[in-house]
Amino acid sequence: MKYSDKIFCEAFYELLRDRKIKLRSLAAKTNLHYSYFSKLSNRKNPPPIDTISNISNALEINPEYFIEYRLFKLNEKLKNKPEILEAVLNFTYGLDSKNELKVAEEKTTYEKEKAPGGKTGKN
């Protein structure tokens, strides 16, 4: 299974929809109340990492499927090995600069159409 690049709530509900998983059955596997999953759809912030792991185990997927989990793991690694932080930043900046579009757009001006007789469209 590929990794998702969507925020947790979108990726989570996409999985539920695609696999036709009922909230109550997932609740039974996670020991979380089924209403909690409904609340996840309205949250902008992801659930705690332990909850993402719990849900992933119940769905039988790797927790790295969710971008928030991957970011958490990356953050942990960078905290534990600050000597690689600069290399990661340089690599990231290099990727970002390759994707920048440097296309000049042609400037256009807005001109009102003139009505017959040289008058503008306003009366």
Give the per-residue pLDDT at 104.
47
Give the per-residue pLDDT at 92.
82
8 contacts 40 by C-beta, under 8 angstroms = yes
7 contacts 67 by C-beta, under 8 angstroms = yes
Alpha helices in 1-123 (DSSP H): 8-19, 23-30, 34-40, 49-59, 67-80, 85-99
Position 85 in a domain:
no
Domain count, the chain: 1
Position 25 in a domain:
yes
Position 79 in a domain:
no
Task: Indicate yes or no: pTM above 0.85.
Answer: no
Position 56 in a domain:
yes
Give the per-residue pLDDT at 103.
45
Give the per-residue pLDDT at 87.
87
Give the per-residue pLDDT at 101.
40
Range of the domain at 23: 8-67
Residues of the chain with pLDDT under 50: 101-104, 123
Position 97 in a domain:
no
Give the per-residue pLDDT at 21.
94
User: The domain that contains 19 carries what CATH number?
Assistant: 1.10.260.40
Position 72 in a domain:
no
